[in-house]
A and B are shown apart, each in its own frame.
Chain A
Amino acid sequence: DADVTQTPRNRITKTGKRIMLECSQTKGHDRMYWYRQDPGLGLRLIYYSFDVKDINKGEISDGYSVSRQAQAKFSLSLESAIPNQTALYFCATSDFRGGLETQYFGPGTRLLVL
């Protein structure tokens, strides 16, 4: 089974709708991240969480919110989806050992906002 899973894998929604993307991990990592990827751009950080009580905004948090329900779960919500939020969304976890961090990515959620 995959260590980092995302649901749904694909989603089509309409402008103004609220949607939630979910991420679960079985790696036991404290750190979790949400990124979006747009064609021609690198991945950009939306939100990150270093533990259940720690939530931080990333580079492009406007229009998004997150919830860290448990160590294993980190959800991303689009309160009122807009077309420029059409992108590929990745959840990741990280393992911080010896001063270095390895990130483990989920399979991605492809979102289309009409």
Chain B
Amino acid sequence: KNEVEQSPQNLTAQEGEFITINCSYSVGISALHWLQQHPGGGIVSLFMLSSGKKKHGRLIATINIQEKHSSLHITASHPRDSAVYICAVVGGYGWNTDKLIFGTGTRLQVFP
């Protein structure tokens, strides 16, 4: 069993829909990243959070440390949001971040 599980693996939506991508993990962590990988392969860091909630434009990320779960929400989805969204956790080894554990990603396609 992977230490970081994402669901769903694939997601299709119509433009304007509200999107939720989930990430569950089984290890102690100090932080969690949400990354976006574009069809061309480039990876962009969207959020890093260790508690609560962060918002950037139409993107919202939440984390529940007790439940070992994080969600990424996209409001008013748009075709340009089509990408692979990757959850990665930072192993909770004090300040040593030598282990980033990645989920396998959620492929999102938003149709006009």
Question: Which residues of A does B touch, CB under 8 Å?
Answer: 31, 33, 40-45, 48, 56, 58-59, 88, 90, 94, 96, 99-105, 107-108, 110
Contact = CB atoms under 8 A, between A and B. Distances in A.
Interface residues of B, number: 27
Contacts of A43: 86, 88, 100, 102
Interface of B: 2, 4, 30-31, 33, 35, 40-45, 48, 50, 86, 88, 90, 95, 97-105
A94 B42 contact: no
B33 A42 contact: no
B98 A56 contact: yes
A90 B101 contact: no
Contacts of B41: 88, 107-108, 110
A101 B31 contact: yes
Nearest to A88: B41
B86 A100 contact: no
13 contacts: A42-B2, A42-B101, A42-B102, A43-B88, A43-B100, A44-B102, A48-B98, A56-B98, A88-B41, A96-B95, A100-B50, A101-B97, A103-B33
